[in-house]
Structure 1
Amino acid sequence: MQPPPGLSVESNKVCHLRRALYGLKQAPRAWFAKFSSTIFRLGYTASPYDSALFLRRTDKGTILLLLYVNDMIITGDDLSGIQELKDFLNDLYITQAKYASDLLSQAGLIDSKTVDTPVELNAHLTPLGGKPLSNPSLYRRLVGSLVYLTVTRPDISYAVHQVSQYLSAPRSTHYAVVLCILRYLKSTIFHGLFYSAQSPLVLRAFSNADWAGDPTDRRSTTGYCFLIGSSLISWRSKKQTFVARSSTEAEYRALADTISELLWLRWLLKDLGVSTFSATPLYCDN
């Protein structure tokens, strides 16, 4: 690393970085360590099953804080404690939300038409379809933002999973699918998940697999979701690591991944005070 102008560094010396600059590999770790030590001062503890979940139990109830990068979800039944936490965080951190609008403007989607689906039915992308993009940086930033959005939009998970496979060498056909996803989001901006207060606290799991769905490497895609009562709480779409020799093998691999996530959810619910003594039904279509 070259020293700044006017600063000389002796040979065989190592520069110790005093601050974690944004964009460096150490920055996320330093940010999480800083946030954790700060929130611990308020009496919060980290969940043993999810290091990004912080809990605080008081005489008035429980407060939960879930951290995702530099965003967070705060909930609980101690309303005064939640307000105290919000006031504390507002005094420490300032956020800004201009990045998404800048990306849409660069992609030319401010006045675009809407579509009904995030991707065409039975669409299969390949690494060599279309022409290489002259400047792939916009594609990578758009896909990165879409990956972030799948946390609250399960309906685009599969489509985003498809386009995220071509970040290293994106082409025009991949970019067209990204634009289609963005147009779909524009037409469904008010779509969301509904969580009923009367929904029973009964966990259910659903698993499926797309056997040899990728035309390039013939690997299958695992998909699963979990519901508490009628409320969707977790979902995933991910390509399997190995090539399945049959649809049965692909389904079993999907079931194994689903059970792994299921065990973690049961432990997490137990930590949140939700009883998980009864067996959890797991459904598949094979």
Structure 2
Amino acid sequence: MDVKNAFLNGDLTKKIYMQPPLGSSILSTKVCKLHRAFYGLKQAPHAWFAKFSSTISDFEFSSSAYDSALFIRKTERGVILLLLYIDDMIITGDDTVGISSLKQFLSRQFEMKDLTLLSYFLGLEISHDSSSYFLTQAKYTSDLLARADLTNCKTAPTPIDPQTHLTPLDRQLLSDATLYRQLVGSLVYLTITCPNIAYIVHIVSQFMAAPRSLHYDTSVRILRYLKGTMFHGFHYSAHSSLQLHSFSNADWAKDRIDRRFTTGFYFFLGDSLLAWCSKKQTLVARFSTKTEYRALADTT
């Protein structure tokens, strides 16, 4: 679902004045008092979200404690979930009658457009059949390669050379770190469907303040690896089992600066990957057995 001119629906709760727009007949010594929000007003996003939250609560939805933009309604027929991102929303759940009623309710409150089944959302590409979903970020990856001028580059077999060890003093400083920071930020977002790069992205993101040429070369290698795995993604099948499996590991003192280790874990529900993490620990372990126990404890 898409809301047309979403910010124009916001109600202003405080007095806000603006200078007359250019070309108007209002004297320049006077100001205009706003009654409604409009695009360009910094209070407009907050006013729109407050308006939508109030409206959706009238339909017995409540905001999630984990994400204020996620709204949940439980009915006798099941659960309805609504995720809002500015003026776009995803509606899903097992109460089909309730979802139909919700769409009719929202259409009466706002000018809406039904975009039918979900296929693309915030860089995520979703394809599906009668029993499964498949998630990728192929277009997002392709755009990222184009931004780095790597569209025609050769692919790499791994995200990082096993012999590479990054430190804050590797080679010379980059004269302009803007592109590096943009690439690393985009790579962090790509870990949504590419958990196999989570470890190395966790490493290169530690040098955002003062990146050097080796750090940039490492980020380029990650992109070359992604070019060869662009269409890899997540497959969620309705026939997958409901057995929960977890895997954990620890990188023993790989950081040559502080000698702290990195914990990584994965959670699978049957064949479906649900959660993963790659995170440096706050303590230094003095023997490898302790690192494994810490990794297991963090995973648990």
Q: What is the TM-score when the length of structure 1 is the normalising length?
A: 0.68
Structure 1 residues 15-94: aligned runs within 5 Å: 36-37=53-54, 39-48=56-65, 53-65=70-82, 74-79=91-96, 81-82=98-99, 84=102, 91=112
Question: How much has 1:204 moved relative to structure 2?
Answer: 2.4
State the distance in 1 between where 2:206 and 2:287 align. 23
Q: Deviations over 1:187-231 (max 9, x none)?
A: 212111122212222322222111101122111000011111221
Aligned equivalent of 1:165: 206
Structure 1 residues 97-176: aligned runs within 5 Å: 104-176=145-217
Task: Please say if 1:179 is aligned against 2:200.
Answer: no
Query: Once the two structures are aligned, what percentage of the paired residues are identical?
Result: 57
Query: After alignment, is 229-238 or 72-81 more displaced?
Result: 72-81
State the distance in 1 between where 2:244 and 2:256 align. 35
State the distance in 2 between where 1:61 and 1:211 align. 46
Amino acid at match of 1:40: S
Rg larger for? 2
State the distance in 1 between where 2:225 and 2:70 align. 32
Amino acid at match of 1:91: M
Amino acid at match of 2:226: L
Q: Deviations over 1:147-206 (max 9, x none)?
A: 112122211111110110100001111111111112222221211112221222232222
**Change in 2 beyond 3 A, CA 1:221/1:61:** same
Aligned equivalent of 1:280: none
Normalized per residue, the structure richer in strand is 2
Which ranges in structure 2 are unaligned for 5 or more consecutive residues?
Answer: 1-18, 20-27, 29-36, 116-120, 124-138
Amino acid at match of 1:196: S
State the distance in 2 between where 1:55 and 1:227 align. 25
Query: After alignment, is 247-256 or 223-232 more displaced?
Result: 247-256
Aligned equivalent of 2:238: 197
Amino acid at match of 1:255: L
Counterpart selection for 1:226 from 236, 258, 267: 267
Partners of 1:103 and 1:138 within 8 A in 2: no
Question: How much has 1:41 moved relative to structure 2?
Answer: 4.5
State the distance in 2 between where 1:99 and 1:235 align. 21
Aligned equivalent of 1:13: none
Normalized per residue, the structure richer in helix is 1
State the distance in 2 between where 1:90 and 1:81 align. 20
Partners of 2:141 and 2:227 within 8 A in 1: no
Q: What is the TM-score when the length of structure 2 is the normalising length?
A: 0.66
State the distance in 1 between where 2:219 and 2:48 align. 30
State the distance in 1 between where 2:179 and 2:48 align. 26
Q: Secondary structure at the match of 1:195?
A: strand
Which ranges in structure 1 are unaligned for 5 or more consecutive residues?
Answer: 8-17, 260-286
